[in-house]
Every structure is written in structure tokens, then in C-alpha cells.
Amino acid sequence: MTAVEERAEAAAPEVGKARRRKEDARLITGRTQWTDNLVLPGMLHLAVVRSPVAHARIASVDVTAAREAPNVVAVFTGADLAEEQGSLPCAWPVTPDMVNPGHPSVAVDRVNHVGEAVAVVVARSRVAAQDALELVDVDYEPLPVVLDMEAALADGAARVHDHIDSNRSFHFVFDAGEMGTGSATDQAFDDAEVVVSRRFVQQRLIPAFMEPRAVVVQPQGDNYTMWSSTQVPHILRLMLAMVTGTPEHKLRVIAPDVGGGFGGKLQVTPEEVLTFLVARRLGKPVKWAENRSESLMSAHHGRDQIQYIDIASDRQGNVKGLRCRILADMGAYLRLVTPGVPILGAFMFLGIYKFPAYRFECDGVFTNKTPTDAYRGAGRPEATFAVERIMDELAVELGMDPLELRRKNWINADEFPFTTAAGLEYDSGDYDAATREALQLIGYDELREEQRRRRESGDPVQLGIGFSTFTEMCGLAPSRVLGSLSYGAGGWEHAAIRMLPTGKVEVVTGASAHGQGHETAWSQLVADRLGVPFEDIEVLHGDTSVAPRGLDTYGSRSLVVGGVAVVNAAEKVVAKARRVAAHLLEASEEDLEFSGGSFGVRGTPGTGISIQEIALATFAAHNFPEGMEPSIDAEATFDPENFSFPHGTHICAMEVDTETGFVKIRKYACVDDVGTIVNPLIVEGQVHGGLAQGIAQALYEEAVYDEDGNLTTGTFVDYLVPSAADLPHFDTGNTVHAAPGNPIGAKGVGEAGCIASTPAVVNAALDAVRHLGVTDIRMPLTPERVWRPIHQGGDGGDRAPAGSNAYGGAQTETTTGVSTEASALGGDR
Amino acid sequence: MTPITVRVDGAAYTDDVEPRTLLVHYLREQLGKVGTVVGCDTSNCGACTVHLDGEAVKSCTVLAVQADGCEVTTIEGVARGAVLHPVQKAFHEMHGLQCGYCTPGMIMASIDLLKDNPDPSEDEVREGIEGNLCRCTGYQNIVRAVQHAAAEMRGDTSASNGHSGNGHVRPAVVDTAAAPHVAVQA
Ligand code: FES
Ligand code: FES
């Protein structure tokens, strides 16, 4: 091997390599540190008494028996903690007159949803605390239960909160005509040759991260350390200071290994505050760890919208306008970004299409249910579903091929950057290229042929093909944009790089991973920039003492915001090291070139000094440039100018058994453009996981409340997280259009699969049975919901399904036959 | 309290337990075997899967007293010293985990599956691990990992690349060094 080849090999970039993850070592051997693993000397255990009723006045709470129970140390009610608990924060007042009723961590005189905390028991062991829960005697005076959003907004409706005027929290409007980003919407509809209107329902979902939440708080004098299974240690620290009045610099928050989040751990929870308050009162370490039923009932839910969508077009299928009226279920309270979720979607209803006119209105509605908040995609899946479904409906109305209609209206590759009527500037992409690849990947022509054959022969099993040609906005977020939307914080991210004397490198990131593989991807980024080996890099995160600045992980922001901060910090390290190298090599900085981790004088081979050697020279500082502080460490904070806009084409081929209503995904193919790919393994994994969740919304999952406001899907027996047997093989591919807005060129991938897949699946099912007169099927597509419109018309009915087809056998007494006329009455829609 | 003697990951333990104590709680709270985790309270998720006398069980469905006199293997005991079990290695190689919470149970269930069926098809893997839920991966890479491990355990090196059926990434043929950052700490 010649020297030249050797150099070239050494320089093979890390970015783009399918590096196996650094994180795996501890995870595959059980050497993990989940919050619930933590045991501290003298630690007490906290358990929460939860309301069994959806809406009531608390007449009395008797804790005498519980206090006397063996090994119980203390019991606190809402009244005990009322003075110090403050209100859980809502960081996103989406309109100036938004009504926030306040959110106590433990109910004081009213409960507003099943599962709300009414008291806490503190004991020597978890078992003792749990045993004493039933000894707490709470007297509830029932109040009328508000569950249905449309009924909740009617005149004279019972109110969730009687200290506020109505069940409406806010009314948010974006009108492109008024904002000057598009033409007048009503005019567009008045002039339109074709208008199609639909009502879509985005059912309520539960994030259902696999690691149940847990919190440990350790007081040390007037300092407190909190370990929490959270996505957002930095936000939690700040909010904890604001809620409890404990000064911020006295608080340290650690997110150790965190077992998934999906937005569900993007929260400041009642249990975190309560564990903190109790530890502060007792001066002892306290742990709270939930069980799954508690988690499903009390951790925030997601989605839950009713969408009225109107689309206007001419006869040739040129779209003229889109009008959306959304009801978004807030649940009983506003949590961290509850009202912001539908607003994040507000700007994405136009999808990839050139609508000249757009109007969006949204009401945030209170009901006696668990609060909603972020769940993978947060607003964008809802928007994407609406536009991708209504495009299919318009295609049917016009008698056009759904893909031809899309092609006619989407932004062409040569039109980027393109500003939509919602005012967003889409950065780059090629929708046609992704579509062509996806069609090939799925074998489109054969599938259409098979569909025709089955149709002609009247096969009881029909085949349908559904599309979703989507885009989403990633990289939350330019701080100025968040400011214009009244969000309570910025959207930057921070990083620091520390060059250790032995040449090893510590990378500190404010992005707090919980399964996304930051340790690996960040190592790849830094290895390329500094020219040091991948193995020589350690990534530190998730502890506010170690990584003091950050805005954490959500909204597909980590790589495109946090990764850029890391890259910028690395560039600063190189700039400082260059000055040291010039001094040590007695050359001028301009004459140095940096490659493969070494500085050398241009044109003088063999003169090099590596950045790792410079790290040692910096530690010794014996011979350092005049006037330069002896450090080549650097920090960077990156605030993006714009969002990035990944896109892709997802195609689902679905078999529908018209006799049983059973659906089966025959093939699923997608081609995503997420910009530059740092690690193809991680990207593919993110797409797979997102697809699973998006498909699960379409086929399996729904949080169901009965007419009294009880969550009837409160265990994994009833809330159907799909198993391996319930999901198909995915054929995935990528096109790459680098994001112009950041030096990595990445666009974000964490939510893409989840945002794109749901409408593709529903469109596929409808495509299979349209010829039988079916026009809509309500999600999730359980056999019952699919069978009904085929045989009886309608959209499959309001309520939850008989035990649906996840698990292939997990149907139980509790799930079969829930869907009755009577149970529909109490519906949340 | 009932006295029990259990062998866990090769060491013998004698303890007094409450009759109602579940094996998983005994492992975690009394023995500190926190590699095994709890994901549900209805025996649906499989996160707590261990081997009891060589058979995979959900340790949340077994009482500690039922394990009296038995041999338990947890995720912490499947590697041979510093050498990972082929299934552990395959999960790493094939990116069969993200947050890793389901992983101990998935690996224990997969080892059991391969004992009964050393060459499972994709569908057989999917059905075989149906009792284990994963919220992160969408299962495809778990399936890939199990089949990859199966090939390795059969001594079949040729079979490991073919069955991804996926044009995008075939991890087994991507050139990365043998992941030196993964080794069991002694
Ligand atoms: S914890 Fe044992 S099956 Fe879920
Ligand atoms: S890797 Fe997170 S639940 Fe499976």
C-alpha cells in the first residue's frame, strides 16, 4: 500500500458510515442506569393516590388510617401542599387571551380527570407505600363530566373548570390572506369549481414509552439533585425552580438512561414536583416509580383532534385553497406545550402543495380527560393526515389518479426555496425523485395489476394502494420564530468540546438522548472535524452539572440544531489549535494545513503535529503563544435561521378482507429525504420506529374513555401497542438533498416515519374498498370499524373497537363488544 | 416470610421473601439484578423475561417462592466473561435496539426462541417474540438480529447477509471495524 492510499484511507469520513452504536454496550448486557435502579441510603418511597372519578368536588380526605399503617412515614394531601406547590407550567400561550386554568400537582378541592393525584403516601418501601394507598379515604361529590369536544363548546355546556367562563382555552387563527402570505381564502372558495369537505378524527393516543417514568430526589443541605426519566433535564430544572421557588443554582437534574420518550417525557410532571416537595419537606431522598397502568392513565396523551377540512380546486385538479377548522382536546389542564401542539401543525396543513390560499382556525377545548401534549410529530402528523387524506378525496371527486393530482400540485425541484401560503420557506428536495424511487421499491405496476384482477374476480380480499407524499418541519427551532409564536423559550442548542491531555476528547451536548444514538452520531461528527479516532471521543449529556446549557431532545432537533453546535465548537477548537500549532512549528497560521487530525506546513511533508499532541502541549502550557490562554477547549451555541424540511413518499399496499373487515399490510415502501445522513443505521432505525408508531395509529391504538370518563384502555391488554407479529417488513430508501441551512446538511429524521405513514395506510384501506361505496373509515382500522362501512355504510362508528387485531389473541372480556350505541354517547367526539 | 434458595447467574442466594413477592422484584430489589426491568403490570410486555431452569419466563408472572431451588439466568449472566452471547452481539451489529429498555427481555426471549428453532424464518421470529413489546425499533432490526445470531450459532456465515430484503442498508456487509467499543466490563 502506498503512502498516498494510506492517507486516503485514513481520511475516509466518519459521516455516512454505519457505525455500530457506542450506547449498546451497557444496554445489551444489563449494565444500565434506569432511574428506578437507583437506591440511596435512607431513601423513602412515594406512591400516589389517584382519583377514580373524572370530575368531582373533593368533600374530604381522611388520611388517619394510612398514616397509622406500618412503615408509612408521611401522608400529604392537596391541602397540605397547596401553599407550596404552585402551578405546573404551560410554556406556550398561543394567543394573548388564552385561558389557563392553572394546574396543581395534587388536587386541592376539585378533581378534573381520572388518575389525577389527590394525595401521596411516603413509606419505607414501595410495597408499604402502595399498600397504604387504599387506606386513604376520599369523599368525592360528583360533578357533570365533560368528554365530547363539540358538546363542550355548545351554549350552556357543563364546564370542566367552573372558575373560567367556558371550556374554550383559546381560538387561534392563521389566515394567509390577512397575513399577506397568500390570497383571500373565502374568495378562493367562492370562485372554486370544486369544493370537497370532510371531517376527520385524530383519535387520542398514548405515547407508551417502554420505560415507565421514575423520579428520585436527593436533598443535600439546600441543594437538590433530581434523577428523572425525562427527555428534558434542562427545561425541567428551570421549571422546577420557577414552580417550587427553589433557586435554580441549587438544583441539579440528571436524566440517566431513559427508556424512550416520543414526546411523552417532554414534560414537567405532577409527580416530579410532588417527589421534590416531599423530599424537601422530609429532608430525605425520595423515589417515585410508576406502574404501567398509572403511566397510561396519568402521563400525558397525544393527538385527539376533530378536523373540518375544505379543499378548493378547479376541474383540472389545480388546488385553489385549503380551509381547516380544528378542535383540539387539551384534556383537563394545560401542560408544558399542550396548546402549542396543534399550532405546530398549523403551518404544515399545506403539505407539499402549492395552495394559493389558506385559512386555519383552532379551538383548544377542555374536557375531563388526561391532558394532551407532545407525541411523536406533535401537530405535524395531524396536519399531514388531513392534507394527504383530503387530496385523495379530491382525486376521487375529480376522477383523477391520486398521484397525478399530487404531481400536478406539488412544488417542483427547481422551485426551491419555496415559500408556502403558511409563510414557511421550504429549503430543498425533489418530490418527484422520491416518488419514482418509492414506486419502484414497492413494485407499483404489479400491485395495481393485482388490484384490478381481484376487483374483477370479486375476490373477498381486496387490495388497495395508498400514498402519502409528505414534508415536515424539523429542527425546533429558530428562536425568533418561537418568539413570534409566543413560546416561552428559545430554540438554540449548546455544545462544548474539551481536549484532554492524553488527546482524548469530551463532547458535551445539551441534547439529551433517550435512544436516538447521540453518543455515536456526535462522535462521528467530531471525529471528522478534529481528525481524531471515533473511539477517542466520549459524549456527555443528560446532567445539568455536566452539560449545563441545553434545550434537550424533541422535535427532530438534536442533530440539526445540537449537532451543528457540536460541529461549530469543533471548528473553534481547530482554530485555537491552529494558533498553537503555528507557534510550535514556528510557522505562520496561513501556511498551515489541517488534515487527518494534523497540522503541517504546506508543501513541507513530515512537519506535522497532531491535534492530540497539541492537547498535551496545551495542558503543559510550557511553550504557548504569547497572550493566548492555555486552552483549546471551545463552546458553541447554535440558533438556526430556519427549519429544515425533510420529505418523502410513502406507499402502502393493503389487503382488506371484505367479509371479516380484517386488514393486512401487504407491502410498505418509503423513500425519505432527510438530507445528509450521518449514520445510515441510526437513520433507518428511526424511520422503522416512526413507521411502527404511525401505522399503529392507523391500525391499532386508541385511548378510549367510557361515558363516565374512565380510561378503558388503561393497560397493555387494551391499549394495543403492536408486537412484531402485527407489523410488516418495511422497504426503505433515501434520496439526499442536503439541508442548505446547516453545515451538516441534515434535516432531521426522528419523526418522519410517524408523520408520513398514518395517511398512507388509511388511504390504502380506502382504495381497496372505495368501489364498494366506502368513503371513510375511522382510525384505528379494527376489523369491526372496517366491516361496518362495507356492510352498513358510515365511517365505522364512534367508539373503540372490539379487541382489535394487534396481538392476534389478546382480546379479552374487557375489550370485546365495547362498541355499543350507548357507549358511543359518552364519546370524546 | 418464606426462605428460598435460588441460583442466579451462577451464584447461590438464600433469602427470606414475602410469599407475594414477584421474581422480578426479588431479582431487582433484593439481589440488585437491575439489568432485568419491569415494563407493565399485565404480563404483556416481556421486558422482565429471564430464563428459569433454561426456559424463558416473564419474571413478573412468577413468584419468588416458585423459583426456590431453581436456576435463574438474567441478561447479566448470558455473556461468557468478556465474550458476548451471539444474540447480544447480533443486537448490536444489526442495530436491534434504540433506548434499550426492551432489550434484556428481547435478548432472553430470542435466545429461547433459537433453542427451539435454530433457523427461524422472518415470520417465525416475529411470532416467536410476539410476547415482547418494543416501542422504538419497529422490530425489523430485531428480526434481523435474531436471524443473524441464528446463522452465527449454526456456524453458517453465508446466510447472514441475504435476508434483510431491504435495499437500503445491509448492516452485515457495511464495513465497520468489529465494534471494539463493545465489550463486557470485567
Ligand atoms: S413486566 Fe413482565 S411482562 Fe411486562
Ligand atoms: S429499544 Fe426502546 S423499547 Fe425497544
pLDDT tens track for A638-667: 999 999 999 999 999 999 999 999 999 999
Per-residue confidence (pLDDT) for residue A794, from 0 to 100: 85
Could you tell me if residue A110 is inside a domain?
no
pLDDT over threshold 60, residue B172: no
Rounded CA gap, A515 and A521, in Å? Answer: 12
Mean pLDDT of A221-230: 97
Nearest CA of chain B to the CA of A824: how many Å? 27
Instruction: Based on the fold, state whether residues B54 and B94 are members of the same structural domain.
Output: no
Q: Are residues B22 and B62 in the same domain?
A: yes
Taking contacts as CB-CB distances below 8 angstroms, the residues of chain A near B126 are: 723-725, 727
Residues B48 and B114 in one domain: no
Q: Is the pLDDT of residue B162 over 70?
A: no
> Which of A324, A302, A312 shows the shortest CA–CA distance to A200?
A324
Looking at the structure, tell me whether residues B64 and B117 fall in a common domain.
no
Q: Are residues A658 and A781 in the same domain?
A: yes
Name the strand (E) or helix (H) holding A584. Answer: helix A564-585
The residue to which cell 479516532 is assigned: A533
Q: Which residue of chain A is at minimal alpha-carbon distance from B78?
A: A29
Instruction: Say whether both A597 and A647 belong to one domain.
Output: no
Q: List b or e across A739-773, with b for residues whose CB sees 16 or more CB atoms inside 10 angstroms.
A: bebbbbbbbbbbbbbbbbbbbbbbbbbbbbbeeee
Q: For atom 3 of ligand 2, which residue has the closest CA?
A: B134
In a domain, residue B178? The reply is: no
In a domain? residue B175 = no
Report the alpha-carbon distance of residue A239 to residue A86 in Å, rounded: 11
Q: Do A535 and B95 touch (CB under 8 A)?
A: no
C-beta atoms of B84 and A29 within 8 A: yes
Last residue of a domain, one of A638, A659, A683: A638
**Claim to verify: residue B11 and residue B66 sit in the same structural domain:** yes
| Residue A722 within any structural domain of the chain | yes
- Does any domain span residue B166? no
CB atoms within 10 A of CB B19: 9
Overall domain count for chain B: 2
Across the interface, whether the CB atoms of B129 and A291 are under 8 A apart is answered no
Which three-class secondary structure state does DSSP give residue A13?
A: coil
CB contacts, 8 Å: A725 with chain B = 126-127, 130
- Regarding whether B90 and B49 lie in a shared domain, the answer is no
In a domain, A712, yes or no: yes
Of B52, B58, B101, B130, which is best to mutate to test ligand 1, by the most ligand atoms within 8 angstroms of its C-beta?
B58
In the block, residue with C-alpha cell 444514538: A517
* CB of A706 closer than 8 Å to CB of A718: no
Average pLDDT, integer, range A387-392: 98
Sign of the Cα pseudo-torsion (A676, A678, A684, A687, in order): negative
Q: Could you please report the per-residue DSSP string of A647-696?
A: EEEEEEEEEEETTT--EEEEEEEEEEE-BS-S-HHHHHHHHHHHHHHHHH
Mean pLDDT of chain A: 94
Could you tell me if the CB of A724 is within 6 A of ligand 2?
A: no
Chain A residues whose CB is inside 8 A of the B180 CB are 535
Task: Report d(CA B126, CA A176) in Å as an integer.
Answer: 48
Does the pLDDT of residue A351 top 70, yes or no? yes
* ipTM confidence: 0.94
Atom of ligand 2 nearest to the CA of A210: 3
For cell 442548542, name the residue. A493
Q: Which pLDDT score is estimated for A796?
A: 80
Q: Are residues A553 and A528 in the same domain?
A: yes
From the candidates A210, A292, A376, A699, which should be mutated to test the interface with B, based on the most B CB atoms within 10 A? A210
Atom of ligand 1 nearest to the CA of B60: 2
Pairing of strands A663-673, A647-657: antiparallel
Q: What is the dihedral of CA B124, B130, B132, B136, to 10 degrees?
A: 90
Decide if pLDDT at A74 tops 70: yes
pLDDT value of position A795: 83
Q: Are residues A579 and A649 in the same domain?
A: no
Which atom of ligand 2 sits closest to the CA of residue A209?
3
The cell for A17 is 458510515
Q: Is residue B170 part of a domain?
A: no
Residues A509 and A550 in one domain: yes
**Do A22 and B184 make contact, defined as CB atoms within 8 angstroms?**
no
pLDDT for position B158: 60
Mean pLDDT across chain B, nearest whole number? Answer: 88
Residues A497 and A621 in one domain: yes
The 10s digit of each residue's pLDDT in B102-133 is 999 999 999 999 999 999 999 999 999 999 99
Provide the shortest C-alpha distance from residue B14 to chain A (in Å).
Answer: 21
Give the predicted TM-score (pTM) of the model.
Answer: 0.94
Please give the average per-residue pLDDT across A554-570, as a whole number: 95
Distance separating alpha carbons of residues B36 and A828, to the nearest angstrom: 38
State residue A554's pLDDT score. Answer: 93
**Residue B172 near ligand 1, beta carbon < 6 Å:** no
**pLDDT digit string, tens, across residues A420-455:** 999 999 999 999 999 999 999 999 999 999 999 999
**Which of A27, A32, A34, A210 to mutate to test ligand 2, by most ligand atoms within 8 A of the CB atom?**
A210
B69 and B104 fall within a common domain: no
Segments forming the whole domain that contains residue B41: 2-76
**B50 and B114 share one domain:** no
Rounded mean pLDDT of B153-180?
A: 47
Evaluate whether A466 touches A652 at the Cβ level (below 8 Å).
yes
How many angstroms does the Cα of residue A403 sit away from the middle of ligand 2? 35
* Number of compact structural domains in chain A: 2
The answer as to whether A226 is a domain residue is: no
Q: Which of A511, A520, A558 is nearest to A682 (CA)?
A: A520
Q: Which helix or strand (DSSP H or E) is residue A175 part of? A: strand A168-175
Contact A765, A782 (CB under 8 A): no
Share of chain A above pLDDT 70, in %: 95
State whether B101 and A721 contact (CB < 8 Å).
no
CB-nearest to B101 from A19, A260, A730 is: A260
**What's the CATH number where A582 sits?**
3.30.365.10
Give the angle A153-A158-A163 at the CA atoms, nearest 5°: 95
Give the pLDDT of residue B157: 64
Contact A716 B143 (CB under 8 A): no
The enclosing H or E element of A469 equals strand A461-471
Task: Tell whether A559 and A612 lie within a shared domain.
Answer: yes
Q: CA A345, CA A379: separation in Å to the nearest integer?
A: 4
Q: Which of residues A638, A662, A695 is at a domain's end?
A: A638
CB contact under 8 A, B76 and A30: yes
How far is it, in rounded angstroms, from Cα A472 to Cα A690? 13
CATH number of the domain at B10, please.
Answer: 3.10.20.30
Long-range contacts, B30-36 (Cβ 8 Å, 24+): B33/A30, B33/B8, B33/B9, B33/B74, B33/B76, B34/A30, B34/A32, B34/A34, B34/A36, B34/A37, B35/A29, B35/A30, B35/A31, B35/A32, B35/B74, B35/B75, B35/B76, B35/B104, B36/A30, B36/B74, B36/B75, B36/B76, B36/B104, B36/B105
Fill in the DSSP letter of residue A817: T
Same domain, B122 and B64: no
CATH classification at residue B116: 1.10.150.120
At A738-750, the pLDDT tens digits run 999 999 999 999 9
Output the pLDDT for position A730: 97
pLDDT over 80 (residue B177): no
- Ligand nearest the Cα atom of residue B134: 2
Per-residue DSSP letter, A1: -
Q: Please answer yes or no on whether A724 and B143 come within 8 Å at the CB atom.
A: yes
Residue A224 has pLDDT above 90, yes or no: yes
- B65 with B100, same domain: the answer is no
Both B93 and B72 in one domain: the answer is no
What is the share, in percent, of chain A residues with pLDDT greater than 90? 93
Per the listing, cell 456487509 goes with B173
In-domain check, residue B29: yes
Strand partners, A60: A139
Assess if residue B116 is contained within a domain: yes
Regarding whether A453 and A518 lie in a shared domain, the answer is no
Q: What is the pLDDT of residue A12?
A: 87
pLDDT per residue over B34-71, tens digit each? Answer: 999 999 999 999 999 999 999 999 999 999 999 999 99
Residue carrying C-alpha cell 430544572: A237
- The predicted structure's pLDDT at residue A815: 31
Strand A730-734 vs strand A663-673: parallel, antiparallel, or unpaired? parallel
User: Ligand 2, atom 4: nearest CA belongs to which residue?
Assistant: B134
Range of the domain at A738: 428-472+643-803
Give yes or no for a contact between B45 and A209, defined as CB atoms under 8 angstroms apart. no
Ligand nearest to the CA of B91: 2
Residue A817 reports pLDDT greater than 90 = no
The residues with which A142 forms a beta bridge, in sequence order, are: A56
With contacts defined as CB-CB under 8 Å, which chain A residues touch B134? Answer: 210, 724
Is B176 among the domain residues? no
- Alpha carbons A96 and A732: distance in angstroms, whole number: 44
Domain boundary among A621, A638, A655: A638
Residues A664, A793 within the same domain: yes
User: Does any domain span residue A409?
Assistant: no
- Examine the pLDDT at A111 and tell me if it is beyond 80: yes
pLDDT of A807 above 80 = no
Q: Are residues A682 and A723 in the same domain?
A: yes
Same-domain status, A620 and A652: no
Q: A821 falls in which pLDDT band (50, 70, 90)? A: very low
The tens digit of pLDDT for each residue in A11-27 reads 689 999 999 999 999 99
To test ligand 1's pocket by mutation, which of B60, B63, B102, B103 has the most ligand atoms within 8 angstroms of CB?
A: B60
Q: Give me the phi and psi of A266, to 5 degrees please.
A: -90, 80
Contact B98 A807 (CB under 8 A): no
Residue B43 counted as domain residue = yes
Give the model's pLDDT for residue A5. 44
Reading the block at residue A158, the C-alpha cell is 357543563
Query: Minimal Cα–Cα distance from B44 to chain A, Å?
Result: 6
- Same domain for B45 and B7: yes
